[in-house]
Amino acid sequence: MSRDLRVCFVGDSLVAGVGDPRCLGWAGRLAMQAHTAGIPIVSYNLGIRRQKSTDIRARFLAECVQRLPEGVDARIVLSFGVNDTMQVDGQRRVSSDQSAANLGEILRQAAERGWPVLMVAPPPIDDVEHNARTAALDERFAEICAAEGVPYVRIHQQLRESAVWMREVRDGDGAHPGAAGYDELAASVAPQWWEWLSR
């Protein structure tokens, strides 16, 4: 009998794969690749559009505990932050300190239940100033994950330098790519995804 491997992908619209005509996003691509490689995971996409880390923190445990019962090989993939660094009427939606606290609390809840976490950095969008704020948050998230022993996938700068990703985002709605962009994001995450999944 194969192990009951379940993975919750938790985050925002970029986790949900908004803009992808294949309706897979990067999370769906990684799950599909796992099946192709003979690792039949059960994946749950828990991405919700426009959600901030505060919203994700509020729903994280209630949503995941239903999908990850005792006795299964339970895993969590997190990615959020782009909505936190968005400015509305000149005010940032979530302060850097609050974003950090939200991530810390989610990691604490996961660790308490023995759920291994893989954290994926918030990707860039078609807005230079917004990307600068997100890059700073990326650094902070990386430090938190390092302190907690959680693998952190540094994709932000890599995708800012990707002609495919940035073109797809510009051609889309300014924040979400199409299929080729999600291919690029999935490929950026894949090396650490495979390493983490094999543990």
Provide the residue range defining the domain that includes 75: 5-194
Helix or strand run (H / E) with residue 60: helix 53-67
Amino acid at 29: R
Whole-prediction pTM value? 0.97
Residue 189 belongs to a domain: yes
CATH number of the domain that residue 148 is part of: 3.40.50.1110
Residue 114 belongs to a domain: yes
DSSP 8-class letter at 162: -
Residue 98 belongs to a domain: yes
Domain count of the fold of the chain = 1
CB 87 within 8 Å of CB 93: yes
Amino acid at 77: V
- Give how far the C-alpha of residue 118 lies from the chain's centroid of Cα atoms, to the nearest Å: 8
Q: Are strands 5-11 and 73-79 parallel, antiparallel or unpaired?
A: parallel
CA distance 98 to 101: 5
Residue 28 belongs to a domain: yes
Q: Given this model, what pLDDT does residue 1 score? A: 46
Q: Distance between terminal CA atoms of the chain?
A: 19
Backbone angles phi, psi at 70, to 5 degrees: -55, 140
Q: Given this model, what pLDDT does residue 3 score? A: 82
Angle (deg, nearest 10), helices 128-148 and 96-112: 40
Q: Given this model, what pLDDT does residue 180 score? A: 98
Residue 46 belongs to a domain: yes
Question: Low-confidence residues of the chain, pLDDT below 50?
Answer: 1
Residue 199 belongs to a domain: no
Q: Pick from 121, 14, 112: which is nearest to 64 by CA?
A: 112
